[in-house]
A = this chain, B = another copy of it.
Amino acid sequence: MTSQAFDTGLPSIRQVQSLIRDQHTVEVKLMTGDMVAGAVSWQDANAICVKADDGRNTILMRGAIAYVKSLS
């Protein structure tokens, strides 16, 4: 498993925490070219979980994420 620095003091982690708290819609672009939109449910060292409009959770592996963009 690939592992990054999961330090809640880092901007990359804190900004996703804000997105979880505010339930803003985000767009996540994956290395596969897929774009996943929805609210962020949780994050951990391995993944960011996004709940799409159909209410289903998708566990996005960090190594597969190209970028995260807030839409609000």
Which A residues are within 8 Å of any B CB, using their own CB? 1-7, 10-13, 15-16, 29-34, 36, 42, 44-47, 49, 56-71
This chain: how many copies in the complex? 6
Cβ contact within 8 Å between B59 and A62:
no
The secondary structure that dominates the A interface is mixed
Please, which residues of chain B bring their CB within 8 A of the CB of A3?
Answer: 1-5
Cβ contact within 8 Å between A33 and B32:
yes
Q: List 29 A-B contacts (CB under 8 A).
A: A1-B2, A1-B62, A2-B2, A2-B4, A3-B3, A3-B4, A4-B45, A4-B63, A5-B44, A10-B45, A10-B46, A11-B47, A11-B49, A12-B45, A16-B59, A29-B30, A29-B32, A31-B32, A31-B64, A31-B66, A32-B33, A32-B66, A34-B67, A57-B69, A57-B70, A58-B69, A59-B68, A60-B66, A62-B63
